[in-house]
């Protein structure tokens, strides 16, 4: 009994430190996302339709007509990591609408009245978007394998793929929260989100190699985090040459900036 007391104190103290670092709120918000998916799986299926169509219709057709030169790599293989990144982008870019809904429902006010740091709350939201992206990513990877895409079987590489997906979805969800914090209305977030999604997607290497792009689009791709995400995913899943360290660094920095700016703007939504 006496030896248990200091151990319990140590455990309690470790928990307090972890809490102060903000792990508690991040985990809490991710867990909620998993619980929601568990209660209602229909969203996963409906959201999987669009990437499935890209792979089945666009990917299979363009593989047959050889319209886009991808070297020795079949076009469907080239496309699969791009569609993976695109699905994470589509999930994340509308997270701002969820934040506006949470504001209107009083949820955001309740979250902001807890002692959880703003940065931890936004990081939690970002990782929650990542959780959804990962779940959908697993569906797309399975579909890609069924369609004959030569994916890596290395569990470490697949694990790293999912980490990259989380970072990408995290950044784009923060971008969406930043937009929500600036424009404050659901309709505007939706409009800006839609206006951003396609340029981000087309100004990246998701559908075609960077070398085929005009110079100005290549310049846009260089500042587009989606391009770095696709590069990393392609390198990890297909073993193509990639700048993994740079890609991950760009995504980490983008996420850190996104979290910081979104956390600063969050209280604007409840005023």
Partner 1 sequence: MSEEPAAEGGTAPAVEISGLRYAFGARAAVDGIDLRVAAGEVFGLLGPNGAGKTTTIRLIVTLLPCPPGSVRVFGLDAARERMAVRRCVGYVPQQLSADGALTGRQNVALFARLYGVPRAEREERVARSLSAMGLEEAADRLAGTYSGGMMRRLELAQALINRPRLLVLDEPTIGLDPMARAVVWERIGALRAETGMTVLVTTHYMDEAEQHCDRVALMSLGRIRALGVPAELTAGLGPEASLEDVFRACAGDSLSFLDAAGGDARDIRSTRRTASRLG
Least Cβ distance, residue 51 to partner 1 (angstroms):
23
List 15, 57, 191, 249, residue binding partner 1 (CB under 8 A): 15
CB of 103 or CB of 234, closer to partner 1: 103
Q: Which of 114, 154, 185, 194 binds partner 1 (CB under 8 A)?
A: 114
Q: Which two tokens stand for residue 55?
A: 């792979």
Nearer to partner 1, 2 or 35 (CB): 35
The one segment of 55-63, 112-120, 134-142, 252-260 that binds partner 1 by CB under 8 A: 112-120
Per-residue DSSP letter, 211: G
Contact 99, 139 (CB under 8 A): no
| Cα–Cα dist 204/221, whole Å | 5
Alpha carbon 40 to its chain centroid, in Å, reads: 20
> Which distant-in-sequence residues (6+ apart) come within 8 Å of 205 by Cβ?
82, 221, 227, 230, 231, 234
Task: Count residues near partner 1 (CB under 8 A).
Answer: 32
For position 3 contacting partner 1 by CB under 8 A, the verdict is no
- Is residue 17 within the footprint of partner 1 (CB under 8 A)? no
Q: Tell me: does residue 25 bind partner 1 (CB under 8 A).
A: yes
Site stretch for partner 1 (CB under 8 A), options 32-40, 53-61, 91-99, 225-233: 32-40
Cβ(173)–Cβ(138) below 8 Å: no
Task: Count the neighbouring beta carbons within 10 Å of the beta carbon of residue 142.
Answer: 12
Q: How many residues in the chain?
A: 271
Q: Does 6 bind partner 1 (CB under 8 A)?
A: no
- Integer Cα distance of 234 and 77 in angstroms: 9
Can residue 267 be called a binding residue for partner 1 (CB under 8 A)? yes
* 56 forms part of the interface with partner 1 (CB under 8 A): no
Window contacting partner 1 (CB under 8 A); options: 74-82, 107-115, 237-245, 246-254: 107-115
Pick 24 or 74: Cβ nearer partner 1: 24
| Residue 168 C-alpha from the chain's centroid | 4
Phi and psi dihedrals of 136, rounded to 5? -70, -35
> For partner 1, what does the binding mask look like between residues 86 and 105, x meaning CB under 8 A?
------------------xx
Task: Please tell me the distance from the alpha carbon of residue 44 to that of residue 34, in angstroms, as a whole number.
Answer: 12
- Per-residue contact string for residues 120-149; x = within reach of partner 1 by CB under 8 A: ------------------------------
φ/ψ region of 184 (left if φ > 0, alpha if ψ in -120 to 50, else beta) reads: left
User: Measuring CA to CA, how many Å separate 190 from each of 88, 94, 179, 205, 220?
Assistant: 17, 7, 10, 25, 23
Our finding on whether 45 is near partner 1 (CB under 8 A) is no
Q: Which residues contribute to the site for partner 1 (CB under 8 A)?
A: 8, 11-12, 15-16, 19, 24-25, 27-29, 31-32, 35-36, 39-40, 104-107, 109-116, 267, 270-271
């Amino acid at each position: 009994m006496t030896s248990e007391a200091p151990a319990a104190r140590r455990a309690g103290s470790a928990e307090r430190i972890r809490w102060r670092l903000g792990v508690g709120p991040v985990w809490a918000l991710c867990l909620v996302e998993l619980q929601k998916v568990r209660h209602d799986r229909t969203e996963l299926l409906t959201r999987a339709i669009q990437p499935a169509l890209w792979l089945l219709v666009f990917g299979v057709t363009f593989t047959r007509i050889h319209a886009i030169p991808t070297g020795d790599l079949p076009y469907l293989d080239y496309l699969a990591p791009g569609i993976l990144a695109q699905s994470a982008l589509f999930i994340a870019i509308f997270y701002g609408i969820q934040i506006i809904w949470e504001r209107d429902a009083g949820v955001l006010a309740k979250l902001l009245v807890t002692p959880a740091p703003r940065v931890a709350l936004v990081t939690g939201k970002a990782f929650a978007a990542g959780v959804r992206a990962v779940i959908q990513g697993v569906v797309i990877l399975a579909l890609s394998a069924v369609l004959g895409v030569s994916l890596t079987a290395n569990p470490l590489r697949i694990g790293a793929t999912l980490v990259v997906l989380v970072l990408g979805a995290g950044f784009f969800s923060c971008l969406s929260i930043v937009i929500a914090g600036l424009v404050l209305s659901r309709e505007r977030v939706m409009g800006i989100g839609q206006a951003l999604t396609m340029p981000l997607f087309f100004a990246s290497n998701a559908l075609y190699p960077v070398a085929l792009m005009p110079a100005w689009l290549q310049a846009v791709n260089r500042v587009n985090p989606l391009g770095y995400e696709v590069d990393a995913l392609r390198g990890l899943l297909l073993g193509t040459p990639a700048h993994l360290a740079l890609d991950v660094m760009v995504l980490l920095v983008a996420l850190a900036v996104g979290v910081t700016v979104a956390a600063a703007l969050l209280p604007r939504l409840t005023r």
